C-alpha cells in the first residue's frame, strides 16, 4: 500500500497542472461568461493527448491509465470545471463504451479517431422524460432491412455542440422494460436526421457544450450496433461507472481550486487589523476542508486503481462521487463566504466554482442514485 504517485504519474500531474495554469486559466472566465467553449483550447487538449489518456497505444491512445485520467480531471477542474466535463464525457462515456464493447473493426474505425484526438465524442442517454429513471425512455430504433431507423430526442447531451460521434441509446424492444430493450448505436453527428439544438442555459459549467439532440428517422446501419442487441443498458451503466470516477476527480479539483483561491485571498486580505488567515477560525475551517478534500481524493484514487486492476469498482466509484461532490459544494460555498462580497463578485473565480460544483451532485447519477448503488452493493436486503 503506497499513497504516493509513481514517477510517471508525478510528471503527468505536473503537465496537467502547468497546462491548466497557462492554457486554460486565461480563458476560463471568458468561456463562462460567453457560454462557449474555446475550440482552439480543444485542439490543444487533443494535441497533447488529454483526450485518450487511459486507452491503449494500439488504438492511438496514450497507453496510460485511469489514475492518470483522474489526475488530469482534478488539475483541469481546479481551474475550469467545464474543461473537466468536456474531457470526461468524451473519455469516460463515449470512448469507454467503444473500448469495452466495440468489435475490433469498430474500435479501429470509431475509437481510434476519438482517442487520438481527431474527433470528439458524446453520449446520448438522458431524455426529457427519462433521467434517473431510464424507464421513461422514448427514443426508438426500428429495424428496416440492414439498418435501424431511430427517432426520438435526448437532452443534456454534453459536447453535442461540437462532437462528431454519438453513443446513442434507443429502445429496440418496447415489449420489455427499458433495461432489457435498450441498444447502443454509434451515430455520426452528420447523419441525415440528427439535429443539435441550441445550448441549454445552465447555472454552472456554462462553457461546456450541452444541447438537446433530436433524431428524426436517422438511418443507422446494423454494423453500428455497439455490443449486442437489447444489451445497451449494461453498456450505459458501465460507462456511468467509469464516468463517476471522472466526476469524483472533477469534484476534488473544483474543491481544491476553490480552497486554493480562498487561502490566497486570506493571506492578502486584512480585517480587524490582521490578515484573515491569522484568525484561528479561518485556519480551522481551512484545515477541516483540506482534510475532506484529501479524503475525497484518496477515495477517487482508490476507485481509479481498482478499475486499472480490473477489480469491481462500481460501488467505490459511487462512494467517491457521493463524497467528493458534497465536498466540492461545501468548499466552494465556504470560499465564497470567506471572501465575502468579493467572493460573490465575478472578478474572482470562486463564485463560478460554486455554480459549477452543484452539477457534480446531479449528473452521471445523482447523489441519491449513488446511495442506491452503494446500498445495493452492501446486500442490505
Partner 1 sequence: MKIVVCIKQVPDTAEVKLDPKTNTLIRDGVPSIINHDDKAGLETALRIREEKGGTVTVVCMGPPQADVALREALAMGADEAYLLSAREFGGSDTYATATIIAAALKKIGFDLVITGRQAIDGDTAQVGPQIAEQLGVPQVTYAESVKVDGDSVIVKRQFEDRAHVLRVKLPCLITALTELAEPRYMNVGGIVDAYAKQVKIIDFESLRNSLNPDWIGIKGSPTNVVQSFTKQAKAAGTVMKDLTADQAVAAIMDKLIARHLI
Name, in order, each residue with C-beta under 8 angstroms of 264's C-beta and a sequence gap of 6 or more: none
Distance CA 141, CA 150 (A): 4
Nearer to partner 1, 68 or 141 (CB): 68
Using alpha carbons, list the distances in angstroms from residue 364 to 5, 26, 92, 122, 368: 27, 28, 11, 13, 11
User: In whole angstroms, how close is the CB of 197 to partner 1 at the nearest point?
Assistant: 33
Cβ 249 to partner 1 shortest distance, Å:
15
Q: Pick the stretch among 8-16, 151-159, 162-170, 289-297 that binds partner 1 (CB under 8 A).
A: 8-16
Containing 88, the helix (H) or strand (E) segment is helix 81-88
Question: Does 261 qualify as catalytic in the annotation?
Answer: no
Query: b/e map of 118-144 (b: 16 or more CB within 10 Å)?
Result: ebbbbbbbbbeebbeebeebebbbeee
Over the window 158 to 197, marking each residue x when it contacts partner 1 by CB under 8 A and - when it does not, the resulting string is: ----------------------------------------
Please choose, from the candidates 170, 126, 173, 123, the residue with its C-alpha nearest in 3D space to the C-alpha of residue 150.
Answer: 170
Looking at 27-117, which runs of residues are DSSP E strands?
A: none
Lay out the site mask for partner 1 across 45-84 (x = CB under 8 A, - = otherwise): ---xxx-xx---x---xxxx---x---x------------
> In the bound complex, what is the minimum distance in angstroms from residue 344's beta carbon to partner 1?
31
Q: Find the shortest distance in angstroms from Cβ 53 to partner 1.
A: 6
Binding status of residue 19 toward partner 1 by CB under 8 A: yes
* Residue whose CB is less far from partner 1, 63 or 197: 63
Region 199-218 residues binding partner 1, contact defined as CB under 8 A: none
Smallest distance from the beta carbon of 245 to partner 1, in angstroms? 17
**Rounded Cα distance, 363 and 124, in Å:** 13
Stretch that binds partner 1, among 35-43, 44-52, 234-242, 263-271 (CB under 8 A): 44-52
- CA 279 – CA 338 distance, rounded (Å): 12
Quote the least distance from Cβ 10 to partner 1, whole Å: 8
Catalytic residue among 35, 268, 364, 368: 364
Say if residues 154 and 218 touch (Cβ distance below 8 Å). Answer: no
> Please, which residue, 195 or 308, has the CB nearer to partner 1?
308
Nearer to partner 1, 36 or 44 (CB): 44
Is the distance from CB of 242 to CB of 93 less than 8 angstroms?
yes
Grid cell at residue 60? 492511438
The one-character DSSP state at 301 is H
Query: 87 vs 194, which CB is nearer to partner 1?
Result: 87
Nearer to partner 1, 73 or 211 (CB): 73
Query: Of the listed pieces 43-51, 98-106, 152-160, 235-243, which binds partner 1 according to CB under 8 A?
Result: 43-51
Query: Between residues 23 and 32, which has the closer beta carbon with respect to partner 1?
Result: 23
Binding range to partner 1, per CB under 8 A, among 14-22, 192-200, 240-248, 369-377: 14-22
Residues 6+ apart with CB under 8 A from 112: 59, 60
- The SS3 assignment for 142 reads strand
* Residues in 103-122 that interact with partner 1 by CB under 8 A: none
Residue from 5, 15, 263, 278 binding partner 1 (CB under 8 A): 15
Q: What spatial distance separates the first Cα and last Cα of the chain, rounded to whole Å?
A: 33
- The CA distance from 67 to 106, in Å, is 26
User: How many residues belong to the site for partner 1 (CB under 8 A)?
Assistant: 19
What are 221's three cell numbers? 446501419
**Shortest Cβ distance from residue 20 to partner 1 (Å)?**
11
Q: Classify residue 298 by its DSSP letter.
A: H
Give dist(CA 159, CA 163) in Å, integer. 6
Please list the active-site residues.
364
Residues lying near partner 1 in the complex (CB under 8 A): 7-8, 11-12, 15, 18-19, 48-50, 52-53, 57, 61-64, 68, 72
Amino acid at each position: 500500500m503506497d499513497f504516493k504517485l509513481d514517477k510517471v504519474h508525478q510528471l503527468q500531474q505536473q503537465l496537467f497542472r502547468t497546462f491548466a495554469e497557462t492554457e486554460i486559466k486565461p480563458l476560463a472566465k471568458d468561456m463562462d461568461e460567453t457560454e462557449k467553449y474555446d475550440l482552439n483550447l480543444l485542439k490543444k487538449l487533443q494535441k497533447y493527448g488529454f483526450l485518450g489518456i487511459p486507452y491503449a497505444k494500439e488504438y492511438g491512445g496514450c497507453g496510460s491509465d485511469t489514475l492518470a485520467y483522474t489526475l488530469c480531471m482534478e488539475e483541469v477542474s481546479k481551474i475550469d470545471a467545464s474543461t473537466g466535463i468536456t474531457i470526461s464525457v468524451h473519455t469516460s462515456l463515449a470512448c469507454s463504451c467503444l473500448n469495452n464493447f466495440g468489435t475490433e473493426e469498430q474500435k479501429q474505425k470509431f475509437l481510434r479517431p476519438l482517442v487520438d484526438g481527431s474527433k470528439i465524442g458524446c453520449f446520448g442517454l438522458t431524455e426529457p422524460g427519462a433521467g434517473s429513471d431510464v424507464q421513461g425512455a422514448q427514443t426508438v430504433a426500428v429495424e428496416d432491412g440492414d439498418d435501424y431507423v431511430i427517432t426520438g430526442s435526448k437532452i443534456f447531451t454534453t459536447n453535442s455542440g461540437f462532437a462528431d460521434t454519438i453513443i446513442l441509446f434507443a429502445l429496440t424492444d418496447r415489449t420489455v422494460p427499458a433495461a432489457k430493450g435498450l441498444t447502443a448505436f454509434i451515430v455520426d453527428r452528420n447523419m441525415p436526421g440528427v439535429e443539435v439544438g441550441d445550448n441549454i442555459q445552465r447555472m454552472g459549467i456554462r462553457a461546456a457544450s450541452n444541447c438537446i439532440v433530436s433524431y428524426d428517422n436517422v438511418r443507422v446501419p446494423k454494423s453500428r450496433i455497439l455490443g449486442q442487441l437489447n444489451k445497451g443498458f449494461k453498456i450505459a451503466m458501465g460507462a456511468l461507472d467509469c464516468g463517476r470516477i471522472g466526476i469524483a476527480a472533477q469534484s476534488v479539483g473544483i474543491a481544491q481550486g476553490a480552497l486554493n483561491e480562498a487561502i490566497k485571498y486570506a493571506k492578502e486580505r486584512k480585517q480587524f487589523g490582521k490578515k484573515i488567515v491569522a484568525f484561528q477560525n479561518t485556519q480551522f475551517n481551512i484545515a477541516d476542508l483540506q482534510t475532506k478534500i484529501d479524503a475525497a481524493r484518496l477515495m477517487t484514487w482508490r476507485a481509479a486503481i481498482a478499475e486499472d486492476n480490473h477489480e469491481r469498482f462500481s460501488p467505490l466509484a459511487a462512494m467517491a462521487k457521493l463524497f467528493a461532490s458534497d465536498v466540492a459544494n461545501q468548499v466552494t460555498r465556504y470560499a465564497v463566504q470567506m471572501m465575502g462580497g468579493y467572493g460573490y463578485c465575478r472578478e474572482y473565480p470562486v463564485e463560478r466554482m460554486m455554480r459549477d460544483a452543484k452539477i457534480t451532485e446531479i449528473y452521471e447519477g445523482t447523489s441519491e442514485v449513488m446511495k442506491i448503488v452503494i446500498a445495493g452493493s452492501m446486500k442490505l436486503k
